[in-house]
Amino acid sequence: MSLRAQDSLREFQLASGQTVRFHSLPALAELGVGDVRRLPVSLRIVLESLLRNLDGQRIGEDHVRQLANWRPQDARSEEIPFVVARIVLQDFTGVPLLCDLAAMRNVAQRFGKPPKIIEPLVPVDLVVDHSVQVDYFREGNALDLNMQLEFHRNAERYRFIKWGMQAFDTFRVVPPGIGIVHQVNLEYLARGVLQKDGVYYPDTLVGTDSHTTMINALGVVGWGVGGIEAEAGMLGQPVYMLTPDVVGVNLSGRLREGVTATDLVLAVTEMLRKANVVGKFVEFFGAGAATLTLPDRATLANMAPEYGATMGFFPPDEQAAAYLAATGRSDAEVDAFSRYFQAQGLFGMPAAGDIDYSRVLELDLAGVVPCVAGPKRPQDRIALPGLKERFAELLAQPASSGGYGKAGAAPAAGGALDHGSVVIAAITSCTNTSNPGVMLAAGILARKAAARGLKVAPHIKTSLAPGSRVVTDYLAKAGLLPPLEQLGFRVVAYGCTTCIGNSGPLDAALEAEITGQDLICAAVLSGNRNFEARIHPAIKANFLMSPPLVVAFALAGRVDIDLDQQPLGADDTGQPVYLREIWPSQREVADALLRATDPATYRRLYQDFVSGNPLWSAIAAPTGQVYGWDVSSYIAEPPFFQGFAMQPAAVPQVTGARALAIFGDSVTTDHISPAGSIKAASPAGLYLQQQGIKPVDFNSYGSRRGHHEVMMRGTFANVRIRNLMLPPDADGRPVEGGLTLSQPDGAQKFIYDAAMEYQKAGTPTLIFAGEEYGTGSSRDWAAKGTRLLGVKAVVARSFERIHRSNLVGMGVLPLQFKGADSAAGLKGDEEFDLSGLEGGIRPQQDVTLTIRSRDGRSRQLQLLLRIDTPVEVEYYLHGGILPYVLRQLLS
């Protein structure tokens, strides 16, 4: 007899005495499916979703049996159709997603269907947190001034979001000024366990931000996907993935005095990057994991994208239940959480040997030391005493070796700055601002520094952007806001700021000095991303660190300093002040934590988002089920459904293609997708000026993600991107910026302009790249922009998980070099053919790349097609995931 979902229904009892039902994983053994007790906890939660949603259509019995009998060392060729309980969006990715949904309603109306057939089938929460910028920072009312500017700049977007709130039934919005999406998710949106019709099940989700993984700290399975995948999930499609390997990380010991959760996560990021956990689940366990507070676990889970994992998961235990209670969830919810996971046999931190993992890595917490990471990647950890020497090495190294090529060069005399000067110091990002331990440590250090008379130089742009209003509340209660403000760390926003490039402008004279003398100045931030040109285009060295270290380096004013041996500055009497003298002890932090928060604070701050938010209330928005697409430079009907028909067109053959660009390793979505500020002389800046918009009103690329004309012009336009087709400049340095050599004449042009000319001529284009193509934020525009530029395929040594999926979702072929093959030796003036797809497409088949040089010679390479699953084949054949889903809904 075949397995049915109801066969696994069992009962457990709540504290109230009520008996409720659940789909029991232990029951799978008696049903003859398999004994799952040694399966990783994260996989068992995914398995519960398969079991509960077993319908014989989207999810079959074979899916349940295959995952229930997962073996740690098996080859991974089977796909899992994971149905999530809810979806979380941030506004940079949420607005274009809402544009797509609105456009799909237009198509439904054109086909004579009710627009309401386009409706999210699972609850969706959009948290508006990415739109604020640090324009004001030391003024007493900096927070209010920044919010007023935010609403002025983004009124068109916010009207559209408000339209979406009334047009879609399952679409909620957390307005600006509340907090960062991941912290709001952790403190408020996540419930741990959900129930429908008396059946209890785990909270699971995907989110349109790669750091959605922060919620893994709470025992919640979830990760970041592109907006394209999230959209399909909203419309009833499972999130498809290859069955993953699960890497167990056995944490032992305890963190030493003076070591923070940030130091731990930077050590873990370095370790796991070296261990190559890309595309794998990481599950933390062991006695050391049990000692970590939930906010410390959240810090580790948040940075899963930086170490390359799909998740950084902590099993649900007493710490998770206590956190739910401490953050204002009801007694009944906390009780249901504990009893549900106990009934499933999933409650409590596993010990060594309890679970079978694909691989086990070991880390002794006692071995972690204070550190920073940078200046360009989160995995490049530097022990704190070694930063001075490492910065000097990088300064002297040639650019071709990853350095700055400044050997023997000294800045001009008389300037306020030199190499190594700190010009931005930001306590920012979801990674750390969710963590009371490190936030209170920053406040205590600031209090001690201020008491000794230390000051931060006025040219340093200081900011404090808490992840939620709760942080300000507990810093105020602890008396730590005034000393932070005294040093310049005033609350500037409740949202993502410096870490995503919303650092705002530098003083004009200061920036002129940096660029005029080509200074290697620094930003210090408590964030999770420090890729080139992300923080600020003029700042080339960006270091991640804990919040108290951000304060310390702001006081020191430089990064080329050994804080173990050199003083931060001098006190009022001229005596040197060393970091060790003012560093907060674990006891001081623990004492402050006792007074920090209570459940009533969380309930009060999260009970009402609208009252006390007059700027949001004042936004007037249109109503109705179909959007009118007013003329706007922020919102436009996306072109992905132009000429839409119920039958997909034939897959185009790629012959006579040209290379649009050839890139090296570690090209991030920051390089690919439009991000940060818009340059006046760039294709996007020129377009906006043609629309009558002055450069002062450009806002950021992120804020204009709802307008494809801006975004496609900004694709591959990053000021630090290096197209290897271009020869070095007159000084032998690599040329940076979104440029290419158009073929066959070899003229240098913007990539956008060349792409438009190629499309007009009917010439397909390819992108070539090295390792780790598409790392970084889960930006769907990195794939959408690539598609709109006419790129048919990206050929790389390896791909980041989300970006590879997004390329398929937009109908662009991801192709991977095999063995030692690479783009090395390509000049960019060749012609290319792709063959092997004519007779049908299979997941991970071989594709032949024919390369024809200008001298008439020809050679062939075998490439691996990185369309990984059967459903991805369907997406590609339909021209992308959105046309695929729309055809299903309309039929």
- Model confidence, pTM: 0.89
What SS3 state is found at 246? strand
What is the Cα 241 distance to its own chain's centre? 18
Output the CA torsion sign for 375, 284, 321, 82: positive
Query: What CATH code is assigned to 371-405+413-597?
Result: 3.30.499.10
Query: Fold match between 371-405+413-597 and 639-890?
Result: no
Q: Are 279 and 244 in contact (CB under 8 A)?
A: yes
Round to whole Å and give the CA distance between 118 and 103: 10
In which element (H, E) is residue 542 found? Answer: strand 541-544
pLDDT for 56 equals 87
Tokens (6 digits) for 6:
């109801």
Round to whole Å and give the CA distance between 176 and 187: 16
pLDDT for 520 equals 96
Residue ranges per domain, the chain?
5-82, 371-405+413-597, 639-890
- Number of Cβ within 10 Å of residue 145's Cβ equals 15
* Residue 657: Cβ-neighbour burial (10 angstroms; 0-12, 13-18, 19+): buried
pLDDT for 801 equals 80
Tokens (6 digits) for 877:
């054949």
- CA triple 699-700-706, angle to 5 deg: 100
Q: Which residues contact 882 (CB under 8 A, 6 or more apart)?
A: 100, 104, 228, 231, 232, 640, 641, 809
Side-chain half-sphere CA neighbours of 163 within 13 A: 22
Round to whole Å and give the CA distance between 150 and 489: 20
Output the CA torsion sign for 9, 202, 95, 612: positive
Q: Edge to edge, what strands does the sheet with 9-13 contain?
A: 9-13, 19-23, 199-202, 193-196
* H helices present in 303-376, as ranges: 304-307, 318-326, 331-343
Residue 58: what are its φ and ψ, rounded to 5°? -65, -40
Please state, in angstroms and as integers, the Cα–Cα distance from residue 363 to each residue in 21, 126, 385, 526, 818, following that order: 39, 36, 22, 23, 33
* H helices present in 504-609, as ranges: 508-516, 547-556, 579-582, 586-594, 599-606
Closest CA to 12 of 191, 202, 190, 198: 198
Q: Are 69 and 34 in contact (CB under 8 A)?
A: yes
Round to whole Å and give the CA distance between 304 and 298: 10
Closest CA to 293 of 310, 313, 318: 318
pLDDT for 871 equals 87
* H helices present in 111-254, as ranges: 142-167, 181-184, 227-234
pLDDT for 409 equals 66
Round to whole Å and give the CA distance between 885 and 438: 44
Tokens (6 digits) for 706:
């709802």
Round to whole Å and give the CA distance between 828 and 735: 15
Q: Average pLDDT by consecutive 10-residue portion of the chain (891 residues)? A: 90 98 97 97 98 91 96 91 95 91 96 95 94 94 96 93 95 95 97 95 95 97 90 87 96 96 97 95 98 97 95 98 97 98 98 97 98 96 97 93 83 82 94 92 98 97 96 95 98 93 92 95 95 88 98 98 97 95 96 89 91 90 94 94 93 94 93 87 96 91 92 93 94 91 97 98 98 84 96 96 90 97 96 95 96 95 94 94 93 88
Round to whole Å and give the CA distance between 561 and 86: 47
Please state, in angstroms and as integers, the Cα–Cα distance from residue 574 to each residue in 53, 453, 486, following that order: 70, 10, 20
pLDDT for 778 equals 61
Closest CA to 213 of 252, 253, 244, 185: 185
Q: Are 173 and 166 in contact (CB under 8 A)?
A: no
| Fold designation for 639-890 | Aconitase; domain 4 (3.20.19)
**Number of continuous H segments (helices) and E segments (strands) in the chain:** 32, 32
pLDDT for 610 equals 80
Round to whole Å and give the CA distance between 775 and 11: 44
